[in-house]
Structure 1
Amino acid sequence: MFTVVAIAFATLAQAQGTEVAFGTVQQDTSLPVEVSADSLSVSQSDGSALFTGNVIIGQGEMRLSAPRVLVYYTENQTGVDRLEATGGVTLVNGDQAAEADTAEYEVNRGTIRMVGNVLLTQGANTLVSDSMDVDLEAGTALMNGRVRTVFQSGDN
């Protein structure tokens, strides 16, 4: 019986992606975005700022870190539109963490797309996939591509 359920779950995961909870509290995407880094380079031509070296981005309880983050501001330069993190990204929200090669955070939409070798850790459980789409306001994530996990039995 367990084998049939596991096969059905794996087939569904490959066809549609797997939705999981993400974050222990609902993220308020209207909070200010704080950025710290070793260096900053600003481009007036396209309204972007490149933060490099130990970049840490905070918004409420959420933290995102990466070696390199490109920030695009809104057209009127009054706020952050989106962030593109590269070089190995770690996202922490509450007691859950995710790692990926890259991430794009669309601040106004409250979404984060993580791509490449995604590893989501939730307590003792881990999920691995090709990409993950996080909806911060709903507190959910959709794992896409080849999704893999190991279920712990109640005795472990």
Structure 2
Amino acid sequence: MRASLIPLLIAVAIPAGAQQRHNSNAPIDFGADHIELQDRANRAVLSGSVSVKQAEMTLNAARMTVAYTGQVVGGNPQVSRLDASGGVTVRRPDQTARGQYAIYDLNRRVITMLGAVTLTQGSNTVNGGRLTINLDTGRAVIDGSSVAGSSGAAGGGTTQSRGGRVTGTFSVPNRN
């Protein structure tokens, strides 16, 4: 009985269609304390308070590797993937996701977050080991797959998937 409720509960927390479609063709603006360009490898490594913004989405992390295809369009290299680590936070207009690692595959328009993942939407919170967000549909799926370790800020508590389970809290309407 419990296993059959999990997809239903996640659907309540993250209703389909609640998200507007993300513009993955929008330019990517970034800021970091340090950047290392590795042209022969078609990548750039950003470190120190990394912040990346695309349309209405912001991704923050301690470190990020930006992979590009080698193709240049309009004088700009074409970014294909962002790999982030260290206190990763992804913010969208009505959602915030946190984890240890994130991969943003721009070609597939999918963000995958790993390690002590927390997804918050309003007063609803879901915790697990892995989160996949499809930016075209707005569908977010969280499961109990786990990455060793934990994350958290001093005094902010630590969230960690235990035993491959998804946990959370859902708000209910006041029925007075």
Same fold (TM over 0.5): yes
- Structure 1 residue ranges (4+ consecutive) displaced by more than 3 angstroms after TM superposition: 18-24
Q: Quote the residue 2:5 is aligned against.
A: 9
Unaligned runs of 5+ residues in structure 1 are none
TM (norm. structure 2) is: 0.76
1:21 CA displacement:
4.2
The 1:32–1:67 alpha-carbon spacing in structure 2 relative to 1, beyond 3 Å, is: same
User: Unpaired segments of 5 or more residues in structure 2?
Assistant: 145-164
Deviation (angstroms), 1:7 = 5.7
Q: 2:60 aligns with which of 40, 65, 68?
A: 65
Count matched residues: 148
Alignment-derived partner of residue 120 in structure 1: 119
More relative contact order, 1 or 2 (CA 8 Å, 6+ apart): 1
Classify the secondary structure of the residue corresponding to 1:75. strand
Per-residue CA deviations over 1:32-54 (Å, capped at 9, x if unaligned) read 11111111011123111000111
Distance 1:135 1:94 in 2: 15
Whether 1:142 and 2:138 are equivalent positions in the alignment is no
> What TM-score results when the alignment is normalised by the length of structure 1?
0.85
Q: Rate the CA distance shift 1:21–1:136 in 2: closer, same or farther, 3 A.
A: farther
Matched with 1:108 is 107
Instruction: Rate the CA distance shift 1:149–1:103 in 2: closer, same or farther, 3 A.
Output: same
Identical amino acids, percent of aligned pairs: 32
